[in-house]
Structure formats: C-alpha cells, structure tokens
Amino acid sequence: MTTTYNYHRLQRIVLLMLGLLLAACGTPPAGNSASTTATASGEQSQASATKTKVRLGYVPVMVFAPVFVAKERGYFEAENLDVELTPVQGGTDSVIQLAAGNFEAAVGGA
C-alpha cells in the first residue's frame, strides 16, 4: 500500500512540476488589447525565432515518462521551449546540479 501511495504521490509531484514549468514560460496576461494587437505580429515573429533553453535533469525511471512524451509530441516546442534532457544518478544528484546552476529544472524521486 505504501509503495502504491508513494508512486501516485510522485506522479502528482512530477505533473505539478511540469505544469509549473509550462506556466512559468507562458505568456503574460493581456493588458491593453489595442496595443497588444498592434504589436502582436512583431512580437510573434521575434518569439518564434527565440526559444527559451531549459536544461532538465531527470532520474531515468518510468515514472518520468511523461517528460519524454511531452518532448516527443512537441509540447515543449509548442510553448517555445528548447528542452535538453540530462540523466542524473538520483534525486540528490539532481538537487546538487540544480543548486550549482547546471539545470533550470529537475525531476527526481526520494
């Protein structure tokens, strides 16, 4: 029972982290629609040319498969993200690499 609970808890944490990552890279709320419309074409061409690079450390286990599915299906690219997936040995290693500035985000288990 505890293993199943931990597995589902970890799944929820991973999905939450991915949601936060995508939300953080989303567009800001629209202010004045007239100025937004006037500058949308110029900003859109610049935004499509500039992708945000995200280095993501992960522990290579099946629970993090949604990260690979998102990359394969182009969900990150649709949000203008250039995600580089880097495997790590464990959750501790991912935290160390994250603190050292080698990753912008990391997923790991306990």
2-25 per-position pLDDT tens digit:
777 777 787 888 777 777 676 777
**102 within domain boundaries:** yes
**82 touches 69 (CB < 8 A):** no
Q: Which domain holds residue 100?
A: 2-26+51-107
From residue 87, alpha-carbon distances to 5, 9, 16, 51 in Å are 25, 21, 20, 22
- 55, part of any domain: yes
Residue 41 lies in a domain: no
Specify if 45 maps to a domain.
no
Determine the Cα–Cα distance for residues 27 and 18; give it in Å rounded to an integer: 16
User: Is residue 106 classed as helix, strand or coil in its secondary structure?
Assistant: strand
Cα separation, 67 vs 59, in Å, equals: 11
Query: For the chain, how many structural domains are there in total?
Result: 1
Query: For 65-106, how does the pLDDT look when each residue is reduced to its tens digit (9 = 90+)?
Result: 899 999 999 999 999 999 999 999 888 888 888 899 999 988
The Cβ-side half-sphere exposure at 92, using a 13 Å CA radius, reads 0
0.75 exceeded by the pTM?
Answer: no
CATH of the domain at 13: 3.40.190.10
